[in-house]
Every structure is written in structure tokens, then in C-alpha cells.
């Protein structure tokens, strides 16, 4: 296991200790595996919380910060946090205007956030809304889009909802904008190597030395094909064409795009993908606004990349460009 760690049982907690120690001006440990913004709450601001398994930094915890999220409940690597942790996160960030729970569409997270919402409603009279981002187009067909998993595109929902909350929009409005961002983003990924869950000490799936997997999920969920490694341009084209079929763009559209490394894939190779993406969008007459290239949602040391495309209108673009400040995404 080529990982830098101490006891695998302590992987998550030691990571969180280090994160808070390195950025005390941004993150604060509120309770066991509950991270909230450092500093005072802004009375009357809608709170936004997320939660999910560890192993995806900067997702989820990393996006706590000004103009982004208010708190995060943290699970083991690739495992949902508990409903109690989520309820505690909601309580910690509530500033009197209610709390939006905004997370990826995975069964465990949905169930636990639903329970957490009931708990804080019943025990604390805190109003909540919920939205599960479901942007991974290969995880279910378009007519079952509500079953799709949430992947890298969720960071656009964090950013846009976060900016709306910072401008003191109310809970229904923040929820509407989170859902609008989420409904307008589609993503697809491919992987060349799996990653290793510390407590298992080995990968959860295998990919042969000369093979890759198109459409593989961020926890190693099966994709659409396994086969020989294709060229960067062919990979980009296949991902782009799949997204284009799902949610077609036409001349005059404006988008933000995210070319994201799953971990090991270097920046050099993301820019080779971006080069092709820019050419494809230019050919279509689509304008790119604020492109993101880097490691925004990872699976530890997985090799591979994902492509996300967010279709913008004026309202979404203003919020996307609004200031934000966390350790991993400063606008």
C-alpha cells in the first residue's frame, strides 16, 4: 500500500487534525468529525451544510469557507457520516434562517440527511431544505436522472448556493439556486487506476495494466466500458459527446467547465484535455466562462479525470463569479 499514513484507523481523524491546524482561519472542528467555518456566524444568513465520505478532498470538507459552505459532516473513507453528525452540523451552523443540506446523491447520505432533518425539526425547530446533486450522466439514463450519482459537478452547486446565502437570500431562494445549478451541470469521468482504501489496504476494483475504464465512478463503481487506453483527444471527445447528447449545447450558450483530476493524473494532462475541450466548444460557438482545471473532487490517488459542464445564465454567472475563500478555491 503506497500511502503515507500511520494507523489506517486514524486516517480520517489525523487528516482533519492537519487540515484544521494548517488553516485555522478557515476551518474549525466543532465536534467529532464535524467541521464548520472559523469565526462568528452571521445572524440571519441561511446555513449550508454538506456531508459524505472522506477520500475526496477538497470535496467535501474543503469547501467550507466564505461564499461556500458553512459546515460538513465527515464519514470514513467512502462511507456516509451518521445522521447524528449531520444533525450536529445543522445545529452548529443554523443562524436563525434555516439550513440547506446540499450533498451528493448516494443512498446512505440521502437517508442520513433525511433523518438528520427530522431530528433538528423535532428537537430544535430548525427549518431545513435538502438537495442531492446527481450530475454523473453514465450512472443512470436521462429518464431516470434522479437516480444518478453526484460527482465533481457538485462544487458548482456549493459555489452558487454559497454565494446566494452570502447575499442573504432566504432558504427557499438558496435552495432554488442550488437546484438550478445542480440541474444545469452534467459530468462524466474515466479512470486508469483505482485507489486504495486505507482500512482495506488494497483497491476495491482492478484495471489491467494496459486498460482503462470509461465512466467509472469515484468509488470504483463500474463504468460503460473497459478497454485499451485511448488518446487524450479521443477520451475528451467521448466524454464531451456523451454530455452533449444528454444536455445539448448550441451556439451562443455560455458554460463553465471543470476538467478535474481524480488524484494522480497531473495538471499537464488536464491541460491536454482542456485544449481539446476548448476547441470543441469553440467549434460549437459556445463561450467558456471561468474554466476550472485542477483537483477539485478526487478519489485519493486514483488516476483519471472527469469533465463537468455547467450551463450558465446571467443569474448563475453572477453567483459563480462572486468572491469565495476556502483553502482550495479562492475567487
DSSP-derived letter for residue 231 is P
Rounded alpha-carbon distances, angstroms, from residue 69 to 66, 98, 164: 7, 14, 11
Cα–Cα dist 83/14, whole Å = 22
How big is the CA angle at 311 (ends 318 and 274), to the nearest 5 degrees?
Answer: 100
**Which residue carries 482503462 as its cell?**
212
Q: At how many degrees (to 10) do helices 154-166 and 314-321 cross?
A: 80
Any idea of the CA torsion for 220, 249, 178, 25, to the nearest 10 degrees? Answer: 70
Catalytically annotated residues: 56, 219
Tell me the H-state helices in 125-200.
Answer: 154-166, 171-183
CA–CA–CA angle 265, 149, 107 (5° rounding) = 125
* Least Å from the CB of residue 191 to a second copy: 10
Complex with a second copy: residue 141 or 231, whichever CB lies closer:
231
Residue 241 contacts residue 138 (beta carbons within 8 Å):
no
For residue 229, count other CB atoms closer than 10 A to its CB. Answer: 14
Question: Which contiguous run of DSSP H or E holds residue 293?
Answer: strand 292-294
Does the CA dihedral 130-135-140-142 come out positive or negative?
A: positive
Residue 115 or 272 having the CB closest to a second copy: 272
Comparison of 268 and 314: residue with beta carbon closer to a second copy: 268
- Whole-angstrom distance, CA of residue 275 vs CA of residue 159: 25
Nearer to a second copy by C-beta: 54 or 80? Answer: 54
The residue written with cell numbers 444518478 in the block is: 148
Q: Which is nearer to a second copy, 94 or 213 (CB)?
A: 213
Residues that bind a second copy (CB under 8 A): 1-6, 11, 14-19, 21-22, 54-55, 57-58, 62, 192-193, 209, 212, 229, 231-233, 235, 263-275, 278, 291, 293-295, 298, 300-301, 303, 305, 327-328, 330
Grouping H, G, I as helix, E, B as strand and the rest as coil, residue 226 is: strand
* Minimum distance of a second copy from residue 179's CB (angstroms): 28
Rg of the Cα trace of the chain? 19
Amino acid at each position: 500500500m503506497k500511502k503515507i499514513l500511520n494507523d489506517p484507523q486514524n486516517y480520517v481523524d489525523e487528516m482533519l487534525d492537519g487540515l484544521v491546524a494548517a488553516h485555522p482561519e478557515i476551518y474549525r472542528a466543532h465536534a467529532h468529525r464535524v467541521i464548520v467555518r472559523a469565526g462568528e456566524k452571521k445572524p440571519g444568513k441561511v446555513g449550508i451544510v454538506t456531508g459524505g465520505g472522506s477520500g475526496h478532498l477538497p470535496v467535501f470538507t474543503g469547501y467550507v469557507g466564505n461564499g461556500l459552505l458553512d459546515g460538513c459532516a465527515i464519514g470514513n473513507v467512502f462511507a456516509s457520516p451518521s445522521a447524528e453528525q449531520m444533525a450536529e452540523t445543522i445545529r452548529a451552523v443554523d443562524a436563525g434562517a434555516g439550513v440547506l443540506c446540499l450533498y451528493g446523491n448516494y443512498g446512505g447520505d440521502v437517508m442520513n440527511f433525511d433523518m438528520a432533518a427530522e431530528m433538528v425539526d423535532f428537537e430544535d425547530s430548525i427549518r431545513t431544505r435538502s438537495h442531492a446533486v446527481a450530475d454523473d450522466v453514465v450512472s443512470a439514463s436521462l429518464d431516470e436522472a434522479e437516480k444518478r450519482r453526484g460527482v465533481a459537478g457538485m462544487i458548482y452547486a456549493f459555489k452558487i448556493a454559497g454565494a446566494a446565502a452570502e447575499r442573504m437570500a432566504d432558504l427557499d431562494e438558496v435552495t432554488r439556486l442550488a437546484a438550478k445549478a445542480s440541474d444545469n451541470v452534467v459530468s462524466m469521468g474515466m479512470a486508469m487506476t483505482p485507489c486504495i482504501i486505507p482500512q482495506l489496504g488494497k483497491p476495491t476494483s482492478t484495471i489491467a495494466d494496459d486498460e482503462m475504464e470509461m465512466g467509472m465512478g469515484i468509488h470504483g463503481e463500474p463504468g460503460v466500458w473497459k478497454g485499451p487506453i485511448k488518446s487524450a483527444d479521443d477520451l475528451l471527445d467521448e466524454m464531451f459527446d456523451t454530455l452533449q447528447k444528454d444536455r445539448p449545447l448550441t451556439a451562443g450558450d455560455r458554460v463553465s467547465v471543470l476538467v478535474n483530476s481524480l488524484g494522480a493524473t497531473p495538471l499537464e494532462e488536464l491541460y491536454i484535455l482542456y485544449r481539446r475541450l476548448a476547441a470543441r466548444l469553440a467549434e460549437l460557438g459556445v463561450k467558456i466562462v471561468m474554466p476550472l482545471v485542477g483537483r477539485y473532487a478526487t478519489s485519493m490517488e486514483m488516476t483519471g479525470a472527469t469533465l463537468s459542464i455547467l450551463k450558465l445564465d446571467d443569474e448563475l454567472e453572477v453567483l459563480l463569479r462572486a468572491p469565495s475563500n476556502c483553502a482550495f478555491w479562492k475567487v
